[in-house]
Amino acid sequence: MFPFYQKQKKLLFVFIGLVAATILILYYGFHKPSGSIPQEIKISDNETSTSTRRIPPKISIEFDTSLFDESDYKNLKSYGEINVSNEEVGRENPFIPF
């Protein structure tokens, strides 16, 4: 075979590989696995009216305050104050011409 055909054959395999990788990424990117079904509860006032509501996951945030007790934090120095003014800055509509 000629070297040109070998190069074309390699490029064809690379192209097929890229197409296959793109298909896999799109499939697994948009496909939701069956294990990720949100937890639902039933809310009912009586036997006939039942609706479902999703429960958001519980988030617990813990802040470690031991940082403020360290000597590196206590040795920080303030090099002046930042003045914050309530003046209006800029134009009302920045996209209109001058």
Domain boundaries, the chain: 38-76
Q: What is the pLDDT of residue 50?
A: 46
- What the block records as the tokens of 34 is 């069956």
- Name the DSSP letter for residue 95: T
Neighbouring residues of 34: CB distance < 8 A, sequence distance ≥ 6: none
- DSSP per-residue letters across 11-27: HHHHHHHHHHHHHHHHH
Judge whether 51 and 43 are in contact, CB under 8 Å. yes
C-alpha distances (whole Å) from 84 to each of 5, 53, 77, 81 are 69, 45, 20, 9
Global model pTM greater than 0.75: no
pLDDT at 18: 96
Task: Give the tens place of pLDDT for each residue, 30-76.
Answer: 776 555 555 555 555 554 444 556 677 788 888 888 989 999 999 99
How far apart, in whole angstroms, are the C-alpha atoms of residue 22 and residue 14?
Answer: 12
